[in-house]
Structure 1
């Protein structure tokens, strides 16, 4: 008895299709490549930001929204990608004479294990705090601090956070927010 050639071809084609499907599923090649379909912001709520250092903390996705989240005594900004909060910045006026380590102990989500510029900047793999120079509210005796947190990001990079907080704080020092308290 001779095997039916049509049946053998169908069996071979089905076997090949199943094998290809399994291979793609196992290797992940069956998924469309995810990419970032939005532009990296150059400013966050009016303050220039180091886009190159910010980019790794932002995930792939379709839409980005930068939302002002300010309130009395603090200027805040939220970065939302595809409706998920990824990154926040804050500029907060706090009592004079504090250190960044003191502020970090109260404002940070986790321990900031690194410091730079004699403790002026405190940072970890996903958040950072800085103390501005010359941003003093003489009436209320307060100083301006900067805070950046990438709590919604999967990326962790202490050196990028350090670059971000230093460049961001320098931009805040040039802003109207810095000089507003000197009046």
Structure 2
């Protein structure tokens, strides 16, 4: 086999391998999100890790690939009936052109989104809270993801927050 043919064969073989050497997580800081929904928002790389941080009434999670933040989420209280577009506008990368779902529960774009979390009765969680709990998802890096993929992640994440026990936590 000539050197050129060998180089071509090696190139083809390396292209057929997955560029993601890590296993996509099944949760984001304890909140279950199916890997097949999360996977399109995570870049190629060798290693995935996550860390969480709670400060000033906001619980954040950072998912990193090869030590660069690829996705971040937040769970946070806002005044009751705050419009979803206003919540999304506080997310880095969100803009007035972001789409809003017909039920006005989600706002999303290729850079991130926000969703209203449906807790059973927020007035029973913390007597001092008269508000609603919201989740945000932000795609890391300079590139945008597919807006439909972002919507799937924000829907899955928002729906899974109550099952993760986050509605009972006083942030």
- TM-score (normalizing by structure 1): 0.75
**Number of equivalences:** 160
1:127–1:147 CA contact under 8 A, matched in 2: yes
RMSD of Structure 2 on Structure 1 (CA): 2.6
**CA deviation map 1:13-51 (0-9, x unaligned):** xxx86xx49x96xxxx49954621111001111110132
**CA deviation map 1:114-133 (0-9, x unaligned):** 12242110000231100112
- Pairing of 1:103-182 with structure 2 (within 5 A): 103-111=87-95, 113-134=98-119, 136=122, 137-152=126-141, 154=143, 156-180=145-169
Q: 1:107 to 1:148 in 2, by over 3 A?
A: same
In structure 2, the residue matched to 1:75 is 59
Q: Secondary structure at the match of 1:143?
A: strand
Q: Distance in 2 between matches of 1:139 and 1:119?
A: 26
**Is there any run of 5+ residues in structure 1 with no aligned partner, and where?**
1-15
Q: 1:93 to 1:65 in 2, by over 3 A?
A: same
- TM-score (normalizing by structure 2): 0.80
2:93–2:111 CA contact under 8 A, matched in 1: no
Which moves more between the two structures, 126-135 or 172-181? 172-181
Q: Distance in 1 between matches of 2:102 and 2:25?
A: 27
